[in-house]
Every structure is written in C-alpha cells, then in structure tokens.
C-alpha cells in the first residue's frame, strides 16, 4: 500500500530531528557565554568580554553550521529518496507491473531536483535563525538575544542580587521552552526551528511524492485516486478517507481542503487507481468502524477525548519531554545544581505522565520521539538517580513530620530515623533520679537495652539530650555529661508515646 500513517509519522519525526543538533548547540553555547558574563567583576571587563564573546559566538556558529549543513543535507537526501522510491514501487505493484529504466530515470530527476531545492531552503532557514527574547517574548536575531541575556546576567551579579550560576539560569530560563526559531523578517512571524525544518522537508517530500504519483498515474493509464485511511483521523479528513474519486473529483476535492491530501503533514496520501478495476482497500463497514472508534475515544482522568485528540495529547507530552530535556542540559551547562534538580524532577513527572497515559490508552511509547541531541544514557541515569534521591528524602521528611505530630514532639526537635550512634557501655546511669525520685523501676541494663533496640532517636535542648525510643521503653541521655538521665518502660507510655510507637510500626520501623 502507499505510505502508511506510521511511515509518515516516522518521516515527520526524522525531519524534525535534523534540527536538534543546531538547537542543542545554540542553547548550550549561550548558557556558557552568559555564565561567563556573570563572572565579570567590573563594567569595563564585562564590556570587553561581551564584544569578544559576540564576535566569537558568530564565528563559532558559522563554523558549526557549515559542517552541520553537510550532514543535514545528506539526511534530507536520504529521506526524500526513500519516500520517492517507496511511492513508485507501491504504485506500480498495485497495478501489477514493474518500473522500467526510463521510469527510474524520471524518478531520479525528480528526486535530485527536490533534494537541491530542500538544501537551498535549509540554508535559508539557518540564515534567519533567532531566539525568543526572555525579557520581551519577541523573536530577535541571535546576536541580540545573546547580548540581552549576558547584560541581564552581569547586572544581576553586579548589583549583588545573586550568584553567577543563578544569574545565568534567570537570564536564560525561558530559552529552552520557547526554543530556537527561524524569523520571517518581512512579516515578523517566527517558527520554532525544528517545526520549520520539519515543515520544509515534509512539504518538499509531499510535493515530490505528488509528482512521482502523478507521473505513475499517467504512465500506468490510471483514471482515479484513492485516499488512504487510518484510525483516529483528524475531523477534516475523516469523511473523505478510504474513498475513491475520479481525476476531476479528486482535483476539485483536494483544491477545497484547508490541508491538502499529499502534503504529508497529516497521515493520509492519495494513490493512483483504475476505477472499476482496483477495489477499495477498506469496506464501508471498516470505515464506519474507524469513525465510531474515533468518536467513542477514551476517558482519561475524567476528561473525554476522541481518538484523534488522544494522539494529539500524546504528541504534546512528547514535545514537553524533549523541551524539558533541553532545560536539564542547560542547567547542567550553567552549573546550577538547584535548578538542575528542579528540572530533573519535572522531567521525571513528564515521563511518568507519558507512561501512565500510554498505558491507559493502549498506545506504544515512541522512544524516537523523545530523543534530544546531547541526551545520553549518562544524563538519563543521573536524572533518574537524582529524582530517586529527592523522592527518598521527601518521603523521609514526610515521615519525620508524621512522627513529630504523633509523638507531639517540639518543632525544634531533630528526629533521626537512624538512631544517633552512642557508646552504650561508657554511659553512666542516674539511678537516684530514675528509680528513687521518679520510681520508674528500670535497671541500668534495661535502660541501655532500650537504647540498643531504639527505632528512632530525638535530639532536644539544643543537642544536650538525646532521647531513644524502642517498643519496650525509652531512655534519655545527657550527651554533654554522658549518662542516662531517665528511662521508663512501655507500660508508662502516655498517649503521645503510644501514638509514636504505632506510627513507627505502620511505617515498618518497628516489627
């Protein structure tokens, strides 16, 4: 059959991926230069650095783009050639004939012309790159955003407002989300670089495939077209998918659509047919089942979505994950550990949402749609480890506050889930206070056993005392003078201590 929705989605992802090395390089480069700007100690030194940095940034970018464009053009050629070859083979196989050498030659000419045009357009895109200003939200040329971010970082540090790494974070924090853009200076309209490259290549690929299929249509003597069909179609294409049209009908229909069939910005293609000879790929019942399943959709966390809306939500989560990975890389480059942890936590939550949503919908995870240049297993491992550590610490903090509330312990008390180590054998024992004055009837041996069996300990009185709590009893140690001031058995536990022991058991700290 013709290009499938999965193949088209694959081409779209590959086209957008072409821009990722440029995006990652620029984001990392600007963070490094802004971070350096924040380290300048005088206005004169900063102005000298800024002039040099802007010049070097321009030269480095030109050098990088010259090398990267060679790779990019090769990738574009591979995408276009692959799509054209598949389109020709499929159309001929449908009618049951083989392409001749002349047909192959015509295909090569069309492909070479498309590749040349795509290369020229890619060069034009790189010449109009810019960034969205973090301050104004307006698209600006690269050098203006570099200058703006460096000025902001220097100002923050010079006024004593923050550190260099924090200044770099504040000055560049919105860049990853808004991304690198290409700017149409005539209209002022800006487009995210990855989307611009994808639109450019897919538009060129769509035109190429249209030319190939039209050539096949004429060579094979076809007189009509069939539009492919797939599940979860967009509303504007669902009524017309899977149906056959005469040449005149298809030309009239396609001309009336806001999104023409064949642009490859949707999941549909049209392929040539012989009316009355080639049977439709889908029956009316199958097309109706597509429509009903799409409308039935799914309910996720109380919200109903059509099948198409669910696929768009999946796309949005994937974009957000890619953007968040870029934020992590920027925070790493800035050396901002606090923001880095925050960014890693946000990334973990997005990954969790993606897994949860795909499981609920029965969708497959699309790892290729989550890739970001510069993001390796090392980054993924470090991000996961940091989030696990944060989660563990957060759980510990929550548990400590539960114990504080249950035992009615003072806010100033330091609760240790691992009891503070102490040399029990060296401790003295205030028998006069424990037994004669307080009548707790606890021996020195028993008191020391309470310490050894303790599930938690609590530091109070500014560190002068350490209280040890076990299931059988409690002992309070005067750490300044190294003796057990008091001890009592579980029989004397009041409501607060009973509640504390219950909470310890509930959380597995006591058997």
Q: What's the first-to-final CA gap in the chain, in angstroms?
A: 65
Least trusted range by pLDDT, from 151-160, 215-224, 232-241: 151-160
Given 3-state DSSP classes, what are the helix, strand and coil percentages for the chain, each rounded to the nearest 5? 60, 10, 25
Tokens of 77: 């050629």
C-alpha 95/C-alpha 223 separation (Å) is 12
Q: In what order do the strands lie in the sheet with 244-246?
A: 244-246, 224-227, 270-273
DSSP codes, 362-377: TPPP-GGGG--TT--H
Tokens of 205: 């690929």
Residue 392 has pLDDT above 70, yes or no: yes
Q: Higher model confidence: residue 228 or residue 134?
A: 228
HEC secondary structure over 33-73: HHHHHCCCCCHHHHHHHHHHHHHHHHHHHHHHHHHHHHHHH
HEC secondary structure over 129-180: EEEECCCCCCEEEHHHHHHHHHHHHHHHHHCCCCCHHHHHHHHHCCHHHHCE
C-alpha 39/C-alpha 294 separation (Å) is 56
* Residue range 194-202: mean pLDDT, rounded: 61
Q: Higher model confidence: residue 495 or residue 114?
A: 495
Residue 13 has pLDDT above 80, yes or no: no
Residue 219 has pLDDT above 90, yes or no: no
Render pLDDT for 322-357 as a digit per residue (tens, 0 to 9). Answer: 888 878 877 777 777 778 888 888 898 899 999 999
Q: Higher model confidence: residue 208 or residue 96?
A: 208
Tokens of 191: 């487009």
C-alpha 236/C-alpha 228 separation (Å) is 14
The mean pLDDT value of the chain amounts to 77
User: Strand pairing partners for 303?
Assistant: 300
The DSSP call for residue 417 is: S
How many alpha carbons lie under 13 Å from residue 438 in its C-beta half-sphere?
A: 16
* Residue range 185-200: mean pLDDT, rounded: 61
C-alpha 81/C-alpha 200 separation (Å) is 15
Tokens of 197: 């490259």
Tokens of 257: 């659509």
**pLDDT score for 1:** 41
Q: Higher model confidence: residue 442 or residue 23?
A: 442
C-alpha 192/C-alpha 113 separation (Å) is 26
- 126 pLDDT tier (thresholds 50, 70, 90): low
Residue 264 has pLDDT above 60, yes or no: no
| Contact between 467 and 404 (Cβ < 8 Å) | no
Render pLDDT for 241-255 as a digit per residue (tens, 0 to 9). Answer: 999 999 999 999 988
C-alpha 466/C-alpha 473 separation (Å) is 14
Least trusted range by pLDDT, from 91-95, 256-260, 331-335, 385-389: 91-95
- 468 pLDDT tier (thresholds 50, 70, 90): very high
The dihedral sign for the CA sequence 449, 454, 459, 463: positive
Three-state DSSP state, 476: strand
Q: Higher model confidence: residue 269 or residue 107?
A: 269
Residue 226 has pLDDT above 60, yes or no: yes
Q: For 228-285, where are the E strands, in sequence order?
A: 244-246, 270-273
| Contact between 175 and 30 (Cβ < 8 Å) | yes
Q: For 209-332, where are the E strands, in sequence order?
A: 224-227, 244-246, 270-273, 298-300, 303-305
* Residue range 391-404: mean pLDDT, rounded: 87
| Contact between 195 and 173 (Cβ < 8 Å) | no
List the one residue out of 52, 67, 201, 55 whose CA is nearest residue 125.
201
Who contacts 288 (Cβ-Cβ below 8 Å, separation ≥6)? none
| Contact between 385 and 347 (Cβ < 8 Å) | no
C-alpha 239/C-alpha 245 separation (Å) is 13
Render pLDDT for 144-175 as a digit per residue (tens, 0 to 9). Answer: 766 676 676 666 666 666 666 666 656 665 56
């Amino acid at each position: 059959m013709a290009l499938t929705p999965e193949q088209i989605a694959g081409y779209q992802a590959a086209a957008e991926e072409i821009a990722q090395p440029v995006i990652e390089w620029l984001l990392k480069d600007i963070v490094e230069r802004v971070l350096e700007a924040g380290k300048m100690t005088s206005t004169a030194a900063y102005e000298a650095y800024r002039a040099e940095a802007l010049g070097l940034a321009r030269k480095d970018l030109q050098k990088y783009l010259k090398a990267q464009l060679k790779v990019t053009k090769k990738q574009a050629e591979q995408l276009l050639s692959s799509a054209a070859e598949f389109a020709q083979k499929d159309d001929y196989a449908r009618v049951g004939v083989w392409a001749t050498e002349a047909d192959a030659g015509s295909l090569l000419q069309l492909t070479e012309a498309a590749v040349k045009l795509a290369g020229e357009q890619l060069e034009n895109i790189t010449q109009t790159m810019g960034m969205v200003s973090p301050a104004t939200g307006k698209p600006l040329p690269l050098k203006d955003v570099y200058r703006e971010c460096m000025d902001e970082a220097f100002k923050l540090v010079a006024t004593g407002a923050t550190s260099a790494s924090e200044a770099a974070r504040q000055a560049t924090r919105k860049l990853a989300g808004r991304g690198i853009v290409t700017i149409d200076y005539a209209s002022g309209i800006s487009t995210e670089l990855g989307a611009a490259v994808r639109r450019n290549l897919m538009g060129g690929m769509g035109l190429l495939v249209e030319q190939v299929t039209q050539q096949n249509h004429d060579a094979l003597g076809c007189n009509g077209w069939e539009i492919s069909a797939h599940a979860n179609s967009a509303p504007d294409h669902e009524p017309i998918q899977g149906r056959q049209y005469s040449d005149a009908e298809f030309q009239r229909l396609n001309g009336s659509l806001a999104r023409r069939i064949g642009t490859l910005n949707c999941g549909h293609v049209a392929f040539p047919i012989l009316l009355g000879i080639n049977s439709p790929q889908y029956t009316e019942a199958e097309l109706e089942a597509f429509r009903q399943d799409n409308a039935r959709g799914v309910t996720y966390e109380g919200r109903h979505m059509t099948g198409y809306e669910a696929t768009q939500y999946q796309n949005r989560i994937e974009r957000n994950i890619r953007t968040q990975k870029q934020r992590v890389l920027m925070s790493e480059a800035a050396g901002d550990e606090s923001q880095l942890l925050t960014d890693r936590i946000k990334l973990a939550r997005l990954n969790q949402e993606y897994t949860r949503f795909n499981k609920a919908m029965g969708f497959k995870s699309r790892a290729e749609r989550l890739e970001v240049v510069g993001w390796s297993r090392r980054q993924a491992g470090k991000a996961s480890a940091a989030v696990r550590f944060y989660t563990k610490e957060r759980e510990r903090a929550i548990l400590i506050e539960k114990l504080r509330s249950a035992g009615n312990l003072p806010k100033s008390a330091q609760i240790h889930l691992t009891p503070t180590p102490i040399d029990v054998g060296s401790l003295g024992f205030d028998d006069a206070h424990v037994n004669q004055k307080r009548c707790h009837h606890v021996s020195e041996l028993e008191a020391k056993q309470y310490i050894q069996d303790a599930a938690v300990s609590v530091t109070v009185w500014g560190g002068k005392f350490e209280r040890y709590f076990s299931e059988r009893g409690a002992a309070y140690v005067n750490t300044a003078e190294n003796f057990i001031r008091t001890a009592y058995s579980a029989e004397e536990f009041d409501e607060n201590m009973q509640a504390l022991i219950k909470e310890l058991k509930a959380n597995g700290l006591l058997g």
